[in-house]
């Protein structure tokens, strides 16, 4: 055992683990840099994973409803199927239903304007290489781009009774007189630059499908992984522009109830199932939000990819810490053997290794949070997807980082335990 004087002396100097880290030189720099890189990747993957969850329900979150009627063939918002408008009229026969609002949605080609508009080469140069992310970020809406056609989501609403909430409803209300004119649309202000929102008012060659249209205003809607551009028009224009023969076939039926409490919603869904044919299915707001999240997070390659990315980044961080700790222990076996000869136990030496691993992990975590914040902002600016560095993300990343350090330390302890003071002679 160590003498009292020795123990007192040890308490007045920096812990052995901290001294190892401070005097590690390049080894410490390499360890912290490697782990910081891996932890930054964990943060990014968690950010993307969170963005999938946010965008999975983003459109539904902008709509005012208690129950939604969907086709029996419904898969997800962008593959919704369709059913007769008559089902909404039938739903109104349920006493609990106060309003029934149709919504139409499909993809259509959009004529994206070139930039700069006064450069005739821009309209013809459709073979230029795609710019890198840094150049896109630096140039912003001044990024040169050719005239081209891209798919965007088209949403049609009944102007006198649209189901949107908040800023989108306000934008529709402001533009209602102009939207009543044929071939008039609103364009998402947050859509991909290719769709040309910054050029509204300066470009007059807008087309949807093969039809010339007018952009009469905008609205704010976050981009998603399935659609990075959205246009809203009247139900009549939806039929004209998207080649639909009638407005009597809809993709969604949003219902508002007189009493929106949980019991009333459940009772209304049961009543709707009893009176409606099997070609439509009613879902409560909570049910459809949960279903949409489960689809995008658990069933699509997008959600699985980012979840797997978190696992891979964690494994990389563990491997880096283990490699550095293992080399450090190997290089200091004589010192550990000396400590044993002085009376220190395996438990004391294990604590030194664990503390050293946590110092590497903690230092790397602080660096990674700073890098992650910058990368979150850059990614949101470049890709337009919602990257949120929430307390939950920070807490989960800290937990993963600490566990990674502990597990790496555990796998290193055997070398310390095998040290023998007799090997010094």
Residue 112 pairs in a beta bridge with: 148
Q: Which of 92, 87, 56 is nearest to 71 (CA)?
A: 87
Q: Which of 301-318 are b and which e, b meaning 16 or more Cβ less than 10 Å from the residue's Cβ?
A: ebbeebbebbeebbebbb
The per-residue pLDDT for range 73-125, each reduced to its tens digit, is 999 999 999 999 999 999 999 999 999 999 999 999 999 998 887 765 555 54
Q: Could you give the CA distance from residue 122 to residue 144 in angstroms, rounded to a whole number?
A: 7
Q: What is the pLDDT of residue 177?
A: 94
CA angle 317, 398, 384 (to 5 degrees): 85
pLDDT of residue 111: 93
Q: Which of 198, 185, 277, 297 is nearest to 235 (CA)?
A: 185
Quote the pLDDT of residue 126. 52
Q: What is residue 87's predicted lDDT score, i.e. its pLDDT?
A: 95
Q: Let me know: does 307 contact 51? Beta carbons within 8 Å.
A: no
pLDDT at 120: 55
CA trace torsion 367, 372, 375, 379 (10° rounding): 170
- Enter the tokens of residue 47: 């950010």
* Radius of gyration over every alpha carbon of the chain, rounded to an integer in angstroms: 30
pLDDT on residue 12: 38
Q: Is the four-CA dihedral 228, 229, 235, 238 of positive or negative sign? A: negative
pLDDT tens, per residue, the chain with 425 residues: 444 444 443 443 457 778 777 776 777 787 788 888 888 988 988 888 888 888 888 999 999 999 999 999 999 999 999 999 999 999 999 999 999 999 999 999 999 998 887 765 555 545 556 666 566 666 666 777 788 899 999 999 999 889 999 899 999 999 999 999 999 999 999 988 889 899 998 898 999 998 999 999 999 998 888 888 999 999 999 999 999 989 999 999 999 999 989 999 999 999 999 999 999 999 999 999 999 998 888 888 777 888 888 888 888 878 877 787 777 777 777 777 787 788 888 888 888 888 888 888 888 899 999 999 999 988 887 777 888 889 999 999 999 888 888 888 888 887 778 777 666 55
Q: At what angle do helices 301-331 and 346-383 cross, to 10 degrees?
A: 140
pLDDT (0 to 100) of residue 116: 80
- What's the confidence (pLDDT) of residue 134? 60
This prediction has a pTM of 0.78
């Amino acid at each position: 055992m160590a003498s009292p004087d020795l123990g007192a002396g040890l308490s007045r100097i920096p812990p052995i683990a901290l001294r190892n880290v401070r005097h590690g030189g390049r080894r410490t720099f390499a360890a912290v840099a490697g782990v910081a890189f891996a932890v930054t990747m964990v943060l990014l993957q968690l950010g993307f994973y969170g963005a999938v969850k946010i965008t999975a329900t983003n459109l539904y979150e902008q709509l005012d409803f208690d129950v939604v009627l969907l086709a029996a063939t419904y898969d997800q918002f962008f593959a919704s199927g369709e059913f007769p408008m008559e089902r909404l009229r039938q739903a109104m026969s349920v006493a609990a239903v106060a309003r029934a609002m149709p919504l139409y949605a499909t993809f259509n080609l959009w004529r994206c304007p070139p930039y700069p508009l006064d450069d005739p080469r821009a309209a013809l140069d459709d073979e230029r290489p795609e710019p890198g992310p840094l150049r896109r970020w630096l140039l912003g809406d001044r990024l040169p781009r050719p005239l081209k056609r891209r798919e965007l989501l088209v949403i049609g609403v009944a102007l006198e009774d649209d189901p949107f909430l908040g800023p989108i409803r306000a934008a529709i209300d402001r533009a209602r007189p102009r939207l009543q004119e044929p071939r008039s649309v609103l364009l998402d202000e947050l859509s991909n630059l290719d769709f040309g929102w910054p050029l509204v008012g300066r470009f007059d060659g807008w087309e949807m499908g093969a039809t010339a249209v007018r952009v009469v205003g905008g609205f704010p809607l976050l981009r998603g992984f399935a659609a990075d551009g959205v246009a809203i028009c009247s139900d009549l224009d939806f039929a004209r522009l998207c080649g639909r023969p009638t407005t009597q076939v809809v993709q969604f039926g949003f219902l508002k109830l007189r009493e929106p409490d949980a019991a009333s919603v459940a009772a209304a869904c049961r009543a709707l199932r009893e009176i409606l044919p099997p070609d439509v299915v009613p879902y409560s707001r909570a049910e459809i939000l949960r279903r949409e999240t489960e689809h995008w997070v658990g069933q699509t390659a997008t959600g699985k990819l980012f979840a797997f990315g978190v696992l891979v980044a964690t494994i990389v961080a563990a491997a880096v810490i283990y490699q550095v700790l293992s080399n450090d222990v190997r290089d200091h076996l004589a010192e550990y053997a000396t400590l044993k000869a002085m009376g220190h136990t395996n438990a004391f030496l294990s604590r030194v290794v664990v503390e050293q691993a946590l110092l590497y992990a903690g230092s790397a975590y602080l660096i990674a949070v700073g890098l992650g914040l910058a990368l979150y902002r850059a990614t949101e600016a470049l890709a337009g997807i919602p990257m949120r560095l929430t307390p939950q993300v920070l807490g989960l990343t800290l937990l993963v980082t600490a566990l990674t350090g502990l597990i790496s330390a555990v796998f290193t302890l055997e070398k310390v335990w095998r040290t023998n003071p007799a090997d010094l002679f």
